[in-house]
């Protein structure tokens, strides 16, 4: 049994918001894979603690205190992922889940040590950065989804969606990692894209291609 903590709720609200979703209790039930009654109970506690506000239309918003805790947890998640990858050499596709557990145990003193050891960097080993969280912010930086990339042009994988372990295992198996150069050969009628990666060609379905942000190489 995984216990979903207060921090997980606050983080999920901030992250779902960041991805442009309207956050209602169904969003959280889906996002955290918990039941609706569990969300209702958690929201009640979070409201009492002054962490969230629930609008009359059901929209959930973080208070400034709630946002502070969410941002702290997101930052610690990034630090733990970097620690696991950079110090312990753990594979990039395994670290997210580990960080989900460890992020809650980081004290301010340990956080400081991690920053000293790892150096300042705002990007995690999946290519996701604190500054570019929403699709709009990513597009402003010239990124696009792999499913929208122009055939014939060289791209580089900028980031991948990290909350789905099976998807990450699949990407690793296909040789798709943050930083990987690739070219879209054709966008196919069946919604798949044919990609040239290193010396092989693979066909990727839309559900996977929509989980990868790419940057055009020039």
Measured from the CB atom, the residue of 47 and 163 that comes closer to Zn ion is 163
Phi, psi of 80 (to 5 degrees): -65, -40
Smallest separation (angstroms) from Zn ion to the CB of 123: 9
Measured from the CB atom, the residue of 43 and 157 that comes closer to Zn ion is 157
Q: Two tokens at 13?
A: 């609200």
Smallest separation (angstroms) from Zn ion to the CB of 82: 9
Smallest separation (angstroms) from Zn ion to the CB of 174: 19
- Torsion, Cα 120 121 126 129, to 10 degrees, reads 120
Measured from the CB atom, the residue of 75 and 110 that comes closer to Zn ion is 75
Please choose, from the candidates 126, 16, 139, 27, the residue with its C-alpha nearest in 3D space to the C-alpha of residue 77: 126
Question: Which residues of the shown chain bind Zn ion in the complex (CB under 5 A)?
Answer: 81, 124, 126, 128, 162
Specify the 3-state DSSP secondary structure of 193.
strand
Measured from the CB atom, the residue of 76 and 126 that comes closer to Zn ion is 126
CB-based contact 10:51 (threshold 8 Å): yes
195 DSSP β-pair partners: 184, 202
Smallest separation (angstroms) from Zn ion to the CB of 104: 16
Residue 97: partners with Cβ closer than 8 Å, 6 or more residues away: 165
Specify the 3-state DSSP secondary structure of 72.
helix
Measured from the CB atom, the residue of 160 and 209 that comes closer to Zn ion is 160
Smallest separation (angstroms) from Zn ion to the CB of 120: 16
């Amino acid at each position: 049994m995984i216990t979903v903590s207060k921090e997980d709720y606050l983080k999920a609200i901030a992250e779902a918001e960041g991805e442009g979703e309207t956050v209602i209790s169904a969003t959280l039930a889906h996002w955290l894979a918990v039941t609706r009654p569990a969300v209702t109970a958690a929201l009640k506690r979070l409201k009492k603690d002054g962490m969230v506000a629930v609008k009359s239309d059901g929209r959930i918003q973080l208070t400034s205190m709630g946002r502070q805790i969410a941002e702290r947890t997101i930052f610690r998640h990034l630090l733990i992922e970097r620690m696991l990858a950079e110090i312990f050499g753990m594979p990039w596709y395994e670290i997210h889940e580990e960080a989900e557990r460890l992020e809650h145990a980081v004290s301010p003193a340990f956080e400081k040590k991690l920053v000293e050891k790892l150096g300042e960097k705002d990007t995690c080993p999946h290519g996701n950065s604190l500054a570019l969280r929403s699709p709009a912010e990513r597009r402003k930086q010239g990124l696009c989804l792999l499913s929208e990339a122009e055939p014939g042009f060289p791209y580089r994988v900028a980031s991948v969606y990290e909350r789905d372990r099976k998807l990450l295992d699949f990407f690793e198996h296909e040789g798709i990692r943050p930083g990987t150069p690739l070219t879209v050969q054709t966008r196919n009628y069946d919604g798949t894209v044919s990609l040239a990666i290193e010396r092989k060609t693979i066909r990727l379905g839309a559900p996977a291609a929509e989980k990868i942000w790419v940057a055009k190489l020039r």
